[in-house]
Amino acid sequence: MEDSIGMEEKRSVSVVIPNYNGRYLLEENLPSVFEALTVAEVSFEVIVVDDASTDESVAFLETTFPQVVLLQNERNRGFSPTINRGIMAATKDLVLALNSDVKLTPNYFLPLFKYFTKKDTFGVMGRILDLDGEKVQDVAKYPQQKPTGKIKSTIDFVLDPMPKNYWLPSLYLSGANALVDREKIQELGGFDEIYAPFYVEDVDLSVRAWRLGWPCYYEHEAVCHHPESVTIANYHKKRKIYVISARNKLIMHALHLQGVSKVIWNLKVFVDFMIYWLALNFRFYEAFFLFLRRFKQLQQSKKRMKQLLKKYNRKESINTIIERMRQEIEAYNVVKLDI
């Protein structure tokens, strides 16, 4: 694979938006996408992949935004398979993976292009605020691994003050607004569809990139807005969300932990198995047995990752990557946010 874009080359952007019954969200937010792309003065394409919507999303796009490349799933498949259709169809230098409920600010892209002057960059995410711009929803993700081996991926942080000309690494890029190198994400095969229908797939994607030596960054000056409501929660019951999330966390750790950390993590899962039985928390068992049903896919994902690691001559574990990132970040004043 020819590695990334050169500093002197013109940037171009493919925006890929998965959609499910989001007609009103597309109407509200697509104009901001086109405005930001126009301000960026780049060649672009906007690809919307419809996940078998039952509302008027398709008719609305065909009538109001005929310039959009519209792809349609015949059946509802979930986030990863849906956005992957768009990612694999993308033709521009960079891909912006964007949720349909995110509104870009006009200058969103301008602070981001510099990150791709480094050939090893995988991607960068911006700051997500609420619609009023008063509450922070998403910033850089702090790299932390507990003694149990658990990869903690939910800690948001910034540096105060933010050092000039410092590129802040992030453990992962939010799938809601990640600008990534197209060749690299296509090389990875996009988001791993083992996580369908939702959750943890963006953490896994970035962890795979880090393991191949492709850094992920956070840019504070690139701002977008997102409503308080959570799209997934609008369509799925709390029990299902808990079970799928727990299953996918088991999958991610099984894929990426190695050595002693993997042994300790497996012991933790065994202890949890006993504790949840006593606590009559049968949701955990549902998640665990769903995890076991993904065993064949899990082995296929491991095999693909092993092949890529060999191709790029990489052997570094996620444990080492997290520790190195923490040492770099802790040289500054880290402010962890309670979001």
Question: Does the structure show a pLDDT above 60 at 287?
Answer: yes
In a domain, 37, yes or no: yes
Q: Which residue has the higher pLDDT, 238 or 21?
A: 21
Q: What percent of the chain has pLDDT over 90?
A: 83
Say if residue 242 is exposed, middle or buried (CB neighbours under 10 Å; 0-12, 13-18, 19+): middle
Q: Name the phi and psi angles at 337, rounded to 5.
A: -105, 140
Q: Does any domain span residue 334?
A: no
Query: pLDDT value at position 1?
Result: 46
What pLDDT does residue 238 have? 82
Cα 206 to Cα 212: distance, rounded to the nearest angstrom: 10
For residue range 162-173, list pLDDT tens digits in order. 888 899 999 999
Render pLDDT for 216-241 as a digit per residue (tens, 0 to 9): 999 999 999 999 755 555 555 788 88
pLDDT digits (tens, 9 = 90+) for 65-83: 999 999 999 999 999 999 9
Beta carbons of 18 and 57 less than 8 angstroms apart = no
Q: Would you say residue 272 lies in a domain?
A: yes
pLDDT mean over 45-50: 98
| Residue 143 placed within a domain | no
Among 72, 104, 136, which residue terminates a domain? 104
Q: How many domains does the structure of the chain reveal?
A: 2
| Pair of tokens at residue 159 | 């540096």
pLDDT at 230: 54
Query: For all residues of the chain together, what is the average pLDDT?
Result: 93
Determine, yes or no, domain membership for 48: yes
pLDDT at 278: 81
* Predicted TM-score (pTM) of this structure: 0.93
Assess if residue 248 is contained within a domain.
Answer: yes
- Look at residues 52, 76, 104 and tell me which one is the last residue of a structural domain: 104
Confidence of residue 282 (pLDDT cuts 50, 70, 90): confident
- CATH for 18: 3.90.550.10
* pLDDT at res. 3: 47
Q: What is the DSSP letter of 335?
A: E
pLDDT exceeds 50 at position 108? yes
Q: Would 298 be classed as within a structural domain?
A: yes
Domain range holding 46? 7-104
Q: Examine residue 241 and state whether it is found in any structural domain, yes or no.
A: yes
Distances (CA, A) of 294 to 192, 193, 248, 278: 12, 11, 10, 26
Q: Flag whether pLDDT at 5 surpasses 90.
A: no
The residue from 104, 127, 158 where one domain ends is 104
* C-alpha to C-alpha distance for 86 and 47, rounded to whole angstroms: 6
